[in-house]
């Protein structure tokens, strides 16, 4: 029987506790879970693709999840998934707005390749409000982000904010 390969794509800018929850749970559903670190032209990343990949790899090593690997890509998701031999796309959902967007994307992806299934995992209730965009915004305004990311990621974000400069003063 062939190994069941899944892909969990995202920008992971930065990787959050919500992402880690989906990775941990998604890795139990497949033999191998590939974390696809991608670019998104509509987002203004805080970290370069190489920095994000290194951050995700470090977090995966610290979590001790053996069947996960990290691969960067800058292509159509379904082309990337096909190249990886994936049969499953894993997506995390936080709210109704996520579902509407993800539902549309899953439909388009099914049109591109009906052999690859999309599965949705609801984020843990206590992690549902967490979004990378909001983590960056809180950090840029000098707020504490330790409840949303691991200590190592917190340090990465704080260091980047110090390098770029905080926004707004009372």
Q: Is 52 a catalytic residue?
A: no
Position 170 scores a pLDDT of 43
Q: What is the mean pLDDT of the chain?
A: 92
Question: Does the pTM of the predicted model rise above 0.85?
Answer: yes
Which residue out of 24, 58, 94, 160 is catalytically annotated? 94
Find the mean pLDDT for residues 17-37: 97
Find the mean pLDDT for residues 29-45: 91
Q: Is 79 a catalytic residue?
A: no
Query: What domains can be seen in the chain, in order of their start residue?
Result: 5-164 (3.40.50.620)
State how far the Cα of 82 lies from the Cα of 149, in Å rounded to an integer. Answer: 31
Instruction: Find, among 109, 30, 117, 94, the residue nearest to 66 by Cα.
Output: 30
The percentage of the chain sitting over the pLDDT mark of 90, rounded to a whole number, equals: 77
Specify burial of residue 48 (Cβ count, 10 A radius: 0-12, 13-18, 19+): exposed
How many other C-beta atoms lie within 10 A of the C-beta of residue 152?
14
DSSP lists the bridge partners of residue 68 as: 33
Position 169 scores a pLDDT of 52
SS3 15: coil
Which residue out of 43, 79, 133, 166 is catalytically annotated? 43
Could you read off the pLDDT of 99-113 as tens digits, one per residue? 888 989 999 999 999
pLDDT band at residue 120 using 50, 70 and 90 as cut-offs: very high
CB contact at 8 A, 121 and 10:
no
Which residue out of 27, 52, 132, 136 is catalytically annotated? 132
């Amino acid at each position: 029987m062939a190994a069941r390969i899944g892909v969990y794509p995202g920008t992971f800018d930065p990787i959050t506790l919500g992402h880690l929850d989906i990775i941990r749970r998604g890795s139990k559903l497949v033999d191998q879970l590939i974390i696809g670190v991608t670019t998104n032209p509509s987002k203004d990343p805080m970290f370069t693709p190489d920095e994000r990949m290194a951050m995700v790899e470090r977090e995966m090593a610290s979590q001790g999840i053996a069947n996960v690997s990290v691969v960067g890509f800058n292509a159509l998701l379904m082309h990337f998934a096909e190249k990886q031999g994936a049969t499953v796309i894993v997506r995390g959902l936080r709210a109704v707005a996520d579902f509407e967007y993800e539902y549309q994307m899953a439909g388009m992806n099914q049109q591109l390749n009906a052999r690859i299934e999309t599965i949705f995992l609801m984020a843990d209730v206590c992690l549902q409000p967490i979004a990378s965009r909001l983590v960056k915004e809180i950090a840029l305004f000098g707020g504490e982000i330790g409840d949303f990311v691991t200590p190592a990621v917190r340090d990465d974000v704080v260091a980047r904010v110090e390098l770029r400069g905080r926004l707004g003063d009372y």
